[in-house]
Amino acid sequence: MSPKRKDGAETIAEQNKPKAPELATVFTDLLRAVARPAVTIIFAAVIAQAVLERIDIPQWFLGLAIPTITWWFAERTITHVKEKKED
């Protein structure tokens, strides 16, 4: 256990010590990790089935699916590039 300062403030070691993530953060990260692949697979499967069977896809579906999938892949790509630059 690191010693406390006389004025009650945290020491540098205590400030640099990693803090446990909050439950809400852990839950939202888990939900995002599960939901993104599931939604992407559903969108891709519906689009693939519609293309194979030559079914007209509603415009609202394409308007939702294409930007969603593009956003997620772009976000992952940007995050990956930033992590590479930091190394």
What band does 51 get if pLDDT is binned at 50, 70 and 90? very high
C-alpha gyration radius of the chain: 22
Rounded distance, CA 20 to CA 58, Å? 45
* Domain ranges across the chain: 20-86
* Residue 8, pLDDT score: 62
Q: What is the mean pLDDT of residues 28-38?
A: 85
pTM: 0.55
Please give the pLDDT value at position 50: 93
**In 35-54, which positions are buried (b, 16+ CB within 10 angstroms) versus exposed (e)?**
eeeeeeeebeeebeeeeeee
pLDDT tens profile 69-85: 898 889 889 988 988 88
